[in-house]
Structure 1
Amino acid sequence: MKWFLGFFLAIGILVTVCDAYCFFQLNNQKESTEGCVQSGKLYEFGTTWQSEDCHTCSCRQRAILCCSIAHSPVGYDTDKCEKIFNKDACSFKVVEKTDPSKECEVHSWVG
């Protein structure tokens, strides 16, 4: 019974980790040894910030780790509807192609 519970715990953690869209960028030691440089700004090691392209980033000793904060719609009628990204709100809206004033039903999101 314990292995059964352990298995479901491991699957739950794996699903949570795999749901996020993340990437990392190695630090350029020639640019700075005091932190991470992104978009011309210096961030101290251990700091976290939100980038202009809707990612939460953190500065580590060897790299910058960034993960998307925008959830992307995947379960909708792609023939009838289209997704529109709102950069200010870091979110998507799904609307009808022929009448953008009408929102479409979305069944699932990722990110």
Structure 2
Amino acid sequence: MKVLLPLTVSCITLALCQAACFLTLPTLEIRNGAMVPQDGCIDAYDKKKYPFESEWNTAHCLRCSCRVTGMECCTRFGGIADVQGCNGVVDFETCTYKFYSLDNPEEPCFEASETKSIHISDPK
């Protein structure tokens, strides 16, 4: 229950931002009947605990850092990508965008070797 509210807030924030950063504030834990601050950060995705001043990459293409002030995670694939006539989809294996035709979702808009003008919006 202690992580449900921060996890929900983090998920909503990430969904609204689409491609950005989000901060999870530290919480207090109850130990032996007393409230004490966390001694690290718990990644909502892999449930691992990370010490303060650490950084890691998640399987969901996020770059996270744990600080006393909270855990900050940012997408590794940049801002919101826009290619006219194409739909951008995040490839979670490479943490990059792949673009497919709006008319035929199975057809790539261009090959990786082609040069294409891609507009990436910085959501900050």
Structure number with higher helix proportion? 1
Root mean square deviation, CA, Å: 2.3
In structure 2, distance between residues paired with 1:106 and 1:94: 12
In structure 2, distance between residues paired with 1:110 and 1:73: 6
- TM superposition shift of 1:107: 3.0
In structure 2, distance between residues paired with 1:84 and 1:90: 10
TM-score, normalisation: structure 2: 0.60
Q: 1:5 aligns to what?
A: none
In structure 2, distance between residues paired with 1:51 and 1:110: 23
Corresponding residue pairs, total:
89
Amino-acid identity (%): 22
Write the mapping of 1:1-111 to structure 2, written as runs, cut at 5 A: 21-30=20-29, 33-39=38-44, 40-71=47-78, 72-74=80-82, 76-77=83-84, 80-99=85-104, 100-104=106-110, 105-110=116-121
Moved over 4 A (4+): none
Q: 2:34 aligns to what?
A: none
In structure 2, distance between residues paired with 1:21 and 1:36: 20
Larger-gyration structure (1/2): 1
Q: 2:13 aligns to what?
A: none
In structure 2, distance between residues paired with 1:61 and 1:102: 44
Amino acid at match of 1:38: D
TM-score, normalisation: structure 1: 0.66
- TM superposition shift of 1:70: 0.8
Where does the alignment leave 5 or more consecutive residues of structure 1 unmatched? Answer: 1-19
Where does the alignment leave 5 or more consecutive residues of structure 2 unmatched? Answer: 1-18, 31-36, 111-115
CA contact (8 A) 1:36 1:63 kept: yes
